[in-house]
Amino acid sequence: MLEFPVWKRIWLWGLTLAAAAAALPSLFSLANLPWPGALPDQMVSLGLDLAGGSHILLEADPAQVRAQRLENMEELVRAQLRNA
């Protein structure tokens, strides 16, 4: 089992607690809770993936898909006949 020096463990726990304190305002709405003045009050701005603001709709044109598949098949048959 790994043994780390005490100072490294204390440093790691301190860093973890500092990161958790910085993230707390983003987890709770500050308007609804009394917030201690010692803790940070700025929220971390969330990206579109975390905020749920991204939506992409992809569509395929069936006629274009059939034409592309036919073209690919033609190239494949041509290459196989050349190698035969």
Global pTM?
Answer: 0.39
pLDDT, tens digit, 9 for 90 and up, residues 61-79: 999 999 999 999 999 999 9
pLDDT tier at 14, thresholds 50, 70, 90: very high
Can you give the three-state secondary structure of the chain, one letter per residue?
Answer: CCCCCHHHHHHHHHHHHHHHHHHHHHHCCCCCCCCCCCCCCCCCCCCHHHHCCCCCCCCCCHHHHHHHHHHHHHHHHHHHHHHC
Q: Please give the share of the chain, as a percent, with pLDDT higher than 70.
A: 69
Q: 79, exposed or middle or buried, with CB in 10 Å at 0-12, 13-18, 19+? A: exposed
Residue extents of the structural domains in the chain:
57-84
